[in-house]
Amino acid sequence: MKKVWKKYMLIKMQVNSGDIGELQINVVDGNNVPIKDARVIISRKTNENEPLDNETTQLEQLSTDSSGQTEVVDLDAPPLEYSLDENNDNMPYANYNVEVDAPGYESENIDNVEILPRSLAIQNVKLKKVQGEETENINIPPHTLYYEYPAKIPEDDIKDVNEPGEIVLSRVVVPEYIVVHDGTPSSNARDYYVTYKDYIKNVASSEIYATWPRATLEA
């Protein structure tokens, strides 16, 4: 997908002035039941100019409430104009790491949670019941508007619908769940069932910046 920009997106601000973004963590179990009193640690790489240096600095330690949510915390973010200027080469968001653990559940580490200025980022975390001393590590790749990814491998325009168990509907129906293949079309990667609503939100957040004005999104 090519970058979509409009000249009126530019906002006059003090160049290189820092900004603030917000982050909230939602923690649930495998049945989407909120987990209370989960411990959430937010950290950031100590030296972001050294990709091989994994040392981090802890910034916040939070606990989830009865709804499985932490309080909203303010975090440093790059200047707003970085995400509004098509000619900008600076990373327009800040990366943070999130560690989550709760009694009876496996820990989960999420690296590179993206924080945009003047925007609320909500990171959902689903913890698994303890089956051993395991920790799930998730690394969020760079945003598609900032990083150049290889071209998508084309798929067949017409799919074979003669497989057993498939049903061709007479009208368009918005599904509740869809299957997401975690790899190229021909790979043996794992399939995941996700809600259609969450899928749309995840795709949108990977293709646009939350800082864009509403008029730009409607154009």
Question: In which band, very low, low, confident or very high, does the pLDDT at 164 lie, cut at 50, 70 and 90?
Answer: low
pLDDT tens sequence across 173-189: 888 999 988 877 777 88
Domain containing residue 156: 7-218
Rounded CA gap, 96 and 110, in Å? 9
Q: Is pLDDT above 80 for 96?
A: yes
**Domain CATH number, residue 172:** 2.60.40.10
Q: Which token pair is 213?
A: 């004005």
3-state SS assignment for residue 203: helix
Looking at residue 17, its pLDDT comes to 56
Is there a domain that residue 210 lies in?
yes
Q: Count of domains in the chain?
A: 1
Q: Would residue 1 count as lying in a domain? A: no
pTM of the model: 0.78
Answer yes or no: is 35 within a domain. Answer: yes
Phi, psi of 97 (to 5 degrees): -105, 145
Report whether pLDDT(76) > 90. Answer: yes
Q: Is the dihedral of CA 17, 42, 126, 110 positive or negative?
A: positive
* pLDDT at position 161 over 90: no
Report pLDDT for 46: 83
Q: Whole-angstrom Cα distance, residue 206 to residue 199?
A: 11
